A and B are shown apart, each in its own frame.
Chain A
Amino acid sequence: MTGRVFIAAVLAALLAPALADEIPRAQRRSGYDAMSPQTRAMQDNESENPATLWVLDGEASWRKPEGEANKSCADCHGDASSMKGVAARYPRFDAARGKPVDIEQQINICRVERQKATPFAYESHELLAMTAFVARQSRGMPILPDKAAGAAKTVAEGQRLFTQRRGQLDLSCAQCHDDNWGRSLGGASIPQGQPNGYPLYRLEWQSVGSMRRRLRNCLSGMRAELWPVDAPEYVALEMYLMARAEGLRMESPAVRP
C-alpha cells in the first residue's frame, strides 16, 4: 500500500461516522419486518391488538360534545373517514401559526379553538386514544411528508438533530438507526427508527405511547438531557423522520416489542 492510499484509507475511516448516509430508499423497512410472527399477528388482528382498546376510547370521544362550544369532533369533521390519510401527512407546517404542528398538537388546537375546551396533557390516555383513533384511519396508506415551503426548514432542523451527537454516550440517532440498523444492541435488534406505526402499543411499556415518548426514551438511553415535553425539537425530529420514511405504509396503531 502506498503512503498516499494508506492516508486516504485512514481518513476515510475517520470521516465515516460524520458522513453517515441515509438509508437507501429500497432498503427502508418498517420495524414490523423484524418482529416475531406472534407480535405481527397481534398487530394485524384488531381483536388481539391491545391498542384497539385506545382506538375504541378515541372513537367514543370523537362523538362526545366537549367544552364551552359543546361541539364534538364529529360536528365539524363528520364521520371518522374524513381523517383518512391525515396521520400519514403530519406533522405539517401550519402557515397561520408560522410553525410545524404534529398530530397531537393539532388535536389540542381543535380542542382549544373549536371546542373551547382544555387541551389534553401530552401522553394522557385521552390524547393517546384520540390520536390512535385518528391514525387508525390512515392504516395501510403511504407516508406523504409535507413538502410546503415552510416545512423544509423544520425537516433540515430535524435532520441536524438526528445526526448530532449528544448525551454522555456521545451518540447521534443516525449512528444507530442509519449506520447500524439490523444489528444487535444488548440482545435487541436495532430498528431503522421508522415512524409509521405511531401511536403504538409497546409491549415493554404495557401501554400505547406517542412518537414523543419514543424520542424521549431514546434520549434517556443516550444519557442525554431530555428536552421539555412541549419542546419544538420533538416536532422537528418527527417531521424529519416522516420525510425520511416517505412512502412507507402506515401501521398505526402498531404493536412493537
Chain B
Amino acid sequence: MKTTLKITVVLVMLFTIVSCNKKTRRNYQYMPNMYQPVGYEPYQESDAFKGDMEAQLPVDGTIPRGYSLYEIEDTTEGYEEAKAGLESPLDSSAVDYARGKELYDIYCGICHGNKGDGQGTLMKREKILGVPSYDTRELTAGSIYHVIYYGLNSMGSYANFMSEEERWQVVAYVEKLKADLEK
C-alpha cells in the first residue's frame, strides 16, 4: 500500500513538472532585469502613446531625415501629371539593374511576374487577378514611380517598403523589362 502511495506521489510530481513545460509560454529567465530593456523596443506596447503602440507615424508636417517630399497628389490628375512631367533623378551611371532586379523580384514579381508579363505566382495560382503585362500599357518613368508610391486600383502603396532611391531603381528595372517584352 505504501509503495502504491509513493509511486502515485512521484507520478503526480512528474506530471506537474511536465505540464509546466508549455510551448505557448516563455521559459524562466535568470535575471529579467538584464533581459528586458528599459528603453522602448520596436513594436512594444506602451500606454504613453496613442493606441497603446510604441510604433507611431511621423508628426504631421514633418519629414524623417534623409527623406524628401513627393508633392504630386494621389488623384487621376496627379497620375497624369506624374506621367507627363516626372523624371528619374538617377543618371545612367547610378542605375543598378542588379539591385533593381533583386528588389523587383521581392516586391513586384510575385504578382507582375519576374519578366513583367503579368504572370506572377499569385496570378498563376488565381489568388490575385487582372495583372496586366507591361507591354500592353503605356508607361513612363513618372507614371511607374507614381503607382509604386500610391498604388493604383487594387494595387497598394509600396512607399513604405523601399526608400526613394530604391523605388527609382525599380522604376529603371521595370522600364528595362518593358523594353525587353516589346522586342
A and B associate? no
Which residues of B are at the interface with A, using a C-beta cutoff of 8 A? none
